[in-house]
Structure 1
Amino acid sequence: MNKIIGYMISLFALFFVGCNNEVAIEVSPEQSAEILFSGYEGDFVQTKANPNYLIGKDGTAQKFGTFYIFQTKEDINGELHWGRYIVNDGKEGQLTLKDETEDEKLIWEDGTTNYLFRSISVPPGIDSDNPGVAFNPDEMTGTVTFGDYTTGLEYFMGVTVGPQSLANGQVLSMIYRRQVCKVVFWAFKYDDGGKIDDKIVTECQICFPNLPVSATFDMKHFHKQQSKYDGSKPIQGGCDYVTLDFKDSPKAPQITWRKKDLNASEQSSDIFHAFYLPPFKFWDGKDSKPENQSGFFVVTYNGKTYTGNINGYQMNDNTQEEELKKLELFASDFCRLTITLKDGNLEGGGGGSAIAEWNVKDEQDVPHHRVPGIYSQEDADKLLDALIHGTPIPEVFFDDDNIIRLFTNIDWSSVEGITIPDGYTLDGQGYNIKMSESGTISGTYRNLYINGAVPKQPA
């Protein structure tokens, strides 16, 4: 059930001479430097070993909306700086300031000061008049309204990283997590008791009567996925989730569900058929009645209502209520339901039952692809072996332009010198290569550090 959906952002400092000359130079620890942002998003499926992908690579740039990045010195209550960043179409993987203003440009003041970074994305949604997320950066507060894919909540992400300093490495990696859970209503069918063949349902309404319609949050109450905010402990890396407050919110969010249209703007059925909801336990009501549980839902079809519980199929003669209470969806989690609507009165009301079979198999139909590159020390060792022995470089390590990108710091301290073959370029993307004190790299390379310093290019 805990399929974490990650979005990765790498922050790295590159130092330039003048305005147009992109020649990297060494900078002393006392100097300040702009933080440049390069964005990567995690695979929705999370089954591959290296779930890092360029944000916006598949035309999703605008769907993420604005990335608000908040930077403080070490402590969340310290002096605050924040900036608004976006991904431009055709510039996948590059986060740029939304407005080119010096006030919002985030910098490393020096090489040793520790910083804490918190960030969320505020997607516009498909219906711009009713977005799923509204945010006030001056107050550092926001509101989430739950609903279907048109809310944009698929792309509502958050993360906390730090405290870290530039001295700990030029790259600060940030894995973004979806801030809400989602229930994917994969398919509906109508069973009338054998009078006719089962009918495929093409449209219906879905409501969760016991869940809130909306929630508020702020940028000071981040927590880990399976725990609550604890004011006695400092916020640090891994506290990737805002705290959703449901106080005073009305209940019963609802959506209109439609069978997937091949011409729909959302190509993934797991997005198009999703109901984005707050994290919740399936069976947490004041008593044992099904209609009082958070997992209780109502389907309206052809003028009739059908009621069901997400965990209904789990119940049998041996199922204990305590076992049911353990079943829940945390933020970033999802489950997929296949629903059978069946006529006949049912405890809890309604004209029939909605029998839910659910699973958490890998999410489907998301057109994201791994960017070739080096994502782990294991990858780095395989590349090193190919460079040393002159054997072909594995194709998963370079793109169509023969560019080998680093997505992590690597350790090549076991060798003195490395040569990048003709026709290939090693793009460090601001990451560090640990080598022996006299270690060198020859051939074509860019944007990398060796032992924490920018290597001098041959004359």
Structure 2
Amino acid sequence: MKNIILYVEILACIALLTACSKEELSSGSVDAIAGEVQFYGAIKKQSDILATTRATDEYITLNETGQDFGTFYIWMKVGSDNSFKSFFQPYKEAPGEQGNLVIDSEKQTDETERLNWCDETSYHTFYAWTQPSVKTGENDEITGGVKMNKTFQYGEQSSADLSGTVIYGTNKETDLEKFIITQKGPISYDEWGQDVALYFERPIAKITLEGITYIKSDGTFNENIKEATIQFPNMYSQATFTPLVDGIQNVLTGVPATKWITWNWDKEDDDSKSLYVHPFVLGLSSSDDKVDIQNDEGFFIVTVNVADPGSPEVNHSYVGTLNSLKLSSSSTSTERQKLNAGQCMRLYLIVRDGAGVGGGYKIVDWNEKGEQTLPQYRIPGVYNEEDAKRLLEALTNNTFPKGVEDLLVDNEINLFTHVDWSKVTTAINIPDDYTLKGNGYNVTLGENGSITGQQKNIYINGEYVEDSTSSNTGGEDSQP
């Protein structure tokens, strides 16, 4: 009894807060109908990105997110896998009550049909999810978001064969910003009490393209690109959704036959500025080092109108990989990076005729603001002859990085133009812990000229160097 009173007092103290921990959310109303499962919901506010401590995960209660997630579908399984019963009901956020979920009367007209504890000792497992979707066409068919394979009547179930499909795309096409899921249990009434706190997470990932800069042949910039088409030939456009499979990480399985996503990006439309995708690994495995980049999951083709304002449309296409655009190279880990569920890739692209795609990205928390993570103007690097001259002087006079700090991103030197160092007839050394990242551009050296140190995705006198730490003049570490 003392513990119950203490929990109620704690709840009263935090009623005005917008964030809560799992421990804080575990206590709820003592006025609920006896036997009813009283649900409280919160969504994960802080991801595990770059986590360096064992700090408690933070959540924000559903009622205080400012977002209407629609109907929460809750499936309750009672008993063991060998002998169990299943019950299914729709819930919604209760206005004005912190985190409370109540029967969705628009879906279930009989509000007395709630999920109840079957008894005090049986184990209950709860599966909950939302089903955001977009319908188009004459038949009002779901063309984006979550599409379940069949409709279940609410109440006790005779079958637990529940599955569907997640169709990826922009929020305008899918409404997937509202797609969240959770699982809880097995737990019993004796162990847990009447209240069940549900901690929702996002099972998908998101890519937000902040902007595109086009560099003209004369070196001037066009940063007014408002629209583009980006195609990802190797990304899943659909996934099988099985919400009753144990483990949130197991509920989505990419459908290989549906690979290829086309993204109609619109910088000024928030619902088209981000692409919702299946979590994926960036880059190729070590066994695939020599495979062409078109097999990379992050391989993309971007098409933009590069004509001056008021001129006839001129569409140019450029290819690149997301893996080559990582802003920071400070990590010494050889493990390939992954865009995990609940994470957002903040991306910026730079395109230039004859030189492919440059730019950069950082992986951040789902809701983190872009301006906090990406440069607002352009990615630091070598863009013109003057930049190249300053870099060469710093490298040859052993003053690097002094005087060229504005050209660096952490420990990377990015090239965004071809570099003419044809007067160099000796070795240029890239200092330890730094990488000369070519982004597909060429460095022209004079006779006997060479570059030593770490280099990636660069041409030296027309010969390609994929990733090398040795001296390169088109030798054994390069490939045509």
CA distance in 2, matches of 1:211, 1:83: 34
1:52 Cα deviation from its structure 2 partner? 2.6
User: Is the CA contact 1:7–1:41 (under 8 Å) kept in the aligned structure 2?
Assistant: no
Larger deviation, residues 354-363 vs 293-302: 354-363
1:208 Cα deviation from its structure 2 partner? 0.8
Residue 277 of structure 1 aligns with which residue? 277
> CA 1:100–1:33 in structure 2 vs 1: closer, same or farther (change >3 Å)?
farther
Output aligned runs, 1:374-389, within 5 Å: none
User: Is the CA contact 1:184–1:274 (under 8 Å) kept in the aligned structure 2?
Assistant: yes
Normalising by the residue count of structure 1, what TM-score does the alignment of the two structures yield?
0.59
CA distance in 2, matches of 1:14, 1:166: 15
> CA 1:194–1:103 in structure 2 vs 1: closer, same or farther (change >3 Å)?
farther
Output aligned runs, 1:106-145, within 5 Å: 106-125=115-134, 129-135=142-148, 136=150, 138=152, 139-145=161-167
Larger deviation, residues 43-52 vs 301-310: 43-52
Residue 360 of structure 1 aligns with which residue? 363
Residue 156 of structure 1 aligns with which residue? 179
What code does the residue aligned with 1:132 have? G
How many residue pairs get matched?
313
1:241 Cα deviation from its structure 2 partner? 3.2
1:202 Cα deviation from its structure 2 partner? 0.7
What code does the residue aligned with 2:169 have? G
Residue 224 of structure 1 aligns with which residue? none
User: Is the CA contact 1:205–1:255 (under 8 Å) kept in the aligned structure 2?
Assistant: yes
Q: Residue 342 in 1 paired to residue 364 in 2?
A: no
What code does the residue aligned with 2:261 have? P
1:59 Cα deviation from its structure 2 partner? 3.5
Residue 187 of structure 1 aligns with which residue? 211
Normalising by the residue count of structure 2, what TM-score does the alignment of the two structures yield?
0.57
Residue 430 of structure 1 aligns with which residue? none
What code does the residue aligned with 1:288 have? V
Describe the superposition over 1:399-424 as per-residue Cα deviations: whole angstroms up to 9, x where unpaired. Answer: xxxxxxxxxxxxxxxxxxxxxxxxxx
1:133 Cα deviation from its structure 2 partner? 0.8
Q: CA RMSD in A?
A: 3.7
Output aligned runs, 1:33-432, within 5 Å: 33-43=35-45, 51-61=58-68, 64-76=69-81, 78-87=84-93, 93-98=99-104, 99-101=108-110, 104-125=113-134, 129-135=142-148, 136=150, 138=152, 139-150=161-172, 151-170=174-193, 171-221=195-245, 235=246, 239-247=247-255, 249-261=257-269, 273-284=273-284, 288-302=291-305, 303-314=315-326, 323=334, 326-344=336-354, 353-362=356-365, 363-365=367-369
1:169 Cα deviation from its structure 2 partner? 2.8
Q: Which has the higher strand share?
A: 2
Larger radius of gyration: 2
CA distance in 1, matches of 2:274, 2:329: 31
1:144 Cα deviation from its structure 2 partner? 0.5
> CA 1:7–1:305 in structure 2 vs 1: closer, same or farther (change >3 Å)?
farther
> CA 1:94–1:318 in structure 2 vs 1: closer, same or farther (change >3 Å)?
closer
SS where residue 107 of structure 1 aligns?
coil
CA distance in 2, matches of 1:50, 1:44: 6
Unaligned runs of 5+ in 1: 1-5, 17-21, 25-31, 222-234, 267-271, 345-351, 367-459
Describe the superposition over 1:37-67 as per-residue Cα deviations: whole angstroms up to 9, x where unpaired. Answer: 2322332678997733231435412xx2221
Identical counterparts, % of pairs:
23
User: Is the CA contact 2:207–2:344 (under 8 Å) kept in the aligned structure 1?
Assistant: yes
User: Is the CA contact 1:145–1:214 (under 8 Å) kept in the aligned structure 2?
Assistant: yes
SS where residue 113 of structure 1 aligns?
coil
Larger deviation, residues 85-94 vs 6-15: 6-15
1:288 Cα deviation from its structure 2 partner? 2.4
CA distance in 1, matches of 2:273, 2:322: 16
CA distance in 2, matches of 1:36, 1:319: 46
What code does the residue aligned with 2:131 have? V
Unaligned runs of 5+ in 2: 1-19, 153-160, 306-314, 371-480
CA distance in 1, matches of 2:352, 2:254: 33
CA distance in 2, matches of 1:215, 1:341: 31
